[in-house]
Structure 1
Amino acid sequence: MIFRKVIEINKPDRLYDRGDRFTLWGSCFSTRLRDYLMGALYDVSDSPYGIMYNPLSMAQGMERLLSDDAPREDELILRDGRWHSMMHHGAFSHSSKVVALQQMQAAFERSRAALQETSLLILTFGTAWVYERQGEVVNNCHKLPAEDFTRRRLSIDEIVSVWGRLIPTLTEQAPGIRILLTVSPIPHYRDGAHESRLSKAILLLAAERLTELFPDRVSYFPSYEIMQDELRDYRFYDRDMAHPSDQAAEYIIERFREYYLREESGPALQKWEKVRKQLNHRPLTDSRESLRAYYDSLLSTLLEIRAELPRDYLDHEIQRIQEIRSQYL
């Protein structure tokens, strides 16, 4: 007997491996998938604006990227001693206007270059509710007064219209790109339970319409449906009873891996499987000589892996191990 519903997933027209580049934009779930891919040494790029929740802000950000409309100084606002951009997540904000702008522009240039080489663009739509300030939809409110904003819900036609115009331009500039749409499994209970369901319904129908308009370029991955129907028990939710637990997120990512990623092997990956387990564990010794030898060996292996698979993630780990190793020189 079968005691749960297993969501069917449409097979993609191709599988992806570490020779492909993945670009991920969207909500918190997009970040979880990005972290998995990075940790598995896939070639990954993310949004130059940070976490993004609504499809209209994502479209506006993509339009700017395609037209090389980089962040400008006159777009920054000062709030509580920090400079912010209404297009960017708070991770880009800084007490120095110069530093904030430099961070935003550097991320923009990295993403613009990466987009040309992207094989699979994964867009995670989080909510159809948006906030407008001075007639413009913002990506982040940065805790400005509520009276500065007008809140409204996007329509299906509005989402389809803006992305319907954008996708041909995107595929023209990045001819090899495929787009995978998904709806975040995280409800927005701040909007109310009913409003959250309506929001998700709009996103689901908009995604369906886009797959129908661009069947050779756009497909859909049912992360929302897997959470709602396969993992419907509260044991699969975090303490806030809204976000998926680590186990649930790992399961959804496993379903993605099963259908979209090609199994690979090789010396670098075999070394990585062994060394990644060591990275977060200190060896059981107090001998400085033994610790130095341990981190020397670990660093040497990481450098060998990076020579075959150059990744920013590996650069970060190499720098971290170098800092630890310096304590035992």
Structure 2
Amino acid sequence: MQFRTQIPISKSNNPIDYNSKVLSIGSCFAENMAEKFDYFKFQNETNPFGIIFNPVSIEKLFDRVSKQELFGEKDVFFHNERWHSYEVHSDLSNSDRQELLETLNKAITETYKQIKEATHIIITFGTSWIYRNIEKDEIVANCHKVPQKQFAKELLSVEVIQKSIQNTIGAIQTLNPNINFIFTISPVRHIKDGFVENQLSKSHLFTALHQVLKTYNSKFITHNYFPSYEIMMDELRDYRFYNEDMLHPNQIAIDYIWKLFSESHISENSFSIMKEVDEIQKSLRHRSFNPESDQHKKFLANLQQKMKNVEEKWPHIVF
């Protein structure tokens, strides 16, 4: 007897394995999944420009990367004793302008290289709500706590989002026409926008994204939509699966969504390696009551051998 509904998920035709190179971009949920990739020692890069929530800002960055258009002094500004760029997250902000520009331009060149080499790219959209800088008449990725009066809040239309996603795909494919796209909508609700407004925002993302997938699906290499939002809202509809803020998925939910992602988008041949890596990771976290005991020394020697065996088979893995 089933006491919950389960979301059907199609298996990827080109799943991720330990030879794959994955780039993850987007909202904070992209970071949750990237932590899992890191834990299991896949070749993964995440949010080189920090967390980005809206599709237009993601498009703008990929356009800049594809053209290798470096950041200049006109692209940064000083506020609250730090230099910022409206195109990236505040995690990259710096008290020194030149250091910020060097960080941003290093991210441009490295992301260019990563896209050229990547086998898979995962893009997670978070919201359709954007803030437009009134003076520059430009959509920003982050307001950096600049006074709100300098921005106009807008809801992106389905048409604008659809065009933005198409442009993002185009910019990436100019660098790597064989890359596999995986899209998802973040299950995190943006309640600060309002409950009704959050639903409206997500609905615009869904409509635009699925219209793009319907139109362009034959050009992609894999089945490319993962229903993380649907899993959270339906299979995990109980608040015991949320953090204390009742908005972000907790570790149980993240683990469950990762499990479903693994089953659908990771090669079955990789499962045995993932199990080995998991055992090593758990052993590395083990704390002995008696570090000087013969038993613990044998445990460490055995662990070192396991690590050596995995690292010899997969040179990119380093514990």
Is 1:206 aligned to 2:208, yes or no? yes
Aligned counterpart, 1:322: none
Q: Deviations over 1:220-275 (max 9, x none)?
A: 11111111111111111111111111111111111111101012369976653332
Aligned counterpart, 1:29: 29
Contact 1:55–1:125 (CA<8 Å) still a contact in 2? yes
Query: Number of residues paired by the alignment?
Result: 314
Aligned counterpart, 2:279: 274
* Superposition deviation, residue 26 in structure 1: 0.6
Q: Which amino acid aligns with 1:210?
A: V
Counterpart-to-counterpart distance in 1, 2:289 and 2:61: 48
Counterpart-to-counterpart distance in 2, 1:79 and 1:297: 53
- 141, 156, 159: which one pairs with 1:157? 159
Aligned counterpart, 2:178: 176
Q: Deviations over 1:119-156 (max 9, x none)?
A: 22111010000001121111111111001111100011
* Superposition deviation, residue 214 in structure 1: 1.0
* Superposition deviation, residue 206 in structure 1: 0.9
TM-score normalized with structure 2 length: 0.89
Match runs of 1:107-146 below 5 Å:
107-133=107-133, 134-146=136-148
Comparing 191-200 with 265-274, greater Cα deviation is found at: 265-274
Aligned counterpart, 2:169: 167
Contact 2:58–2:168 (CA<8 Å) still a contact in 1? no
Aligned counterpart, 2:85: 85
Counterpart-to-counterpart distance in 2, 1:17 and 1:3: 33
Q: Which amino acid aligns with 2:233?
A: Q
In structure 2, runs of 5+ residues without a counterpart are none
In structure 1, runs of 5+ residues without a counterpart are 318-329
Counterpart-to-counterpart distance in 2, 1:106 and 1:299: 35
Counterpart-to-counterpart distance in 2, 1:198 and 1:263: 38
1:274 and 1:159, CA in 2 relative to 1: closer, same or farther beyond 3 A? Answer: same
Aligned counterpart, 2:4: 4
Aligned counterpart, 1:244: 249
Counterpart-to-counterpart distance in 2, 1:222 and 1:24: 16
- 268, 274, 283: which one pairs with 2:288? 283
Report SS of the residue matched to 2:283: coil
Q: Which amino acid aligns with 1:5?
A: T
Comparing 101-110 with 297-306, greater Cα deviation is found at: 297-306
Structure number with higher relative contact order (C-alpha < 8 Å, ≥ 6 residues apart): 2
Identity of counterpart residues, as a percentage?
A: 31
Aligned counterpart, 2:235: 230
Counterpart-to-counterpart distance in 2, 1:230 and 1:300: 40
* Superposition deviation, residue 104 in structure 1: 2.0
Report SS of the residue matched to 2:64: helix
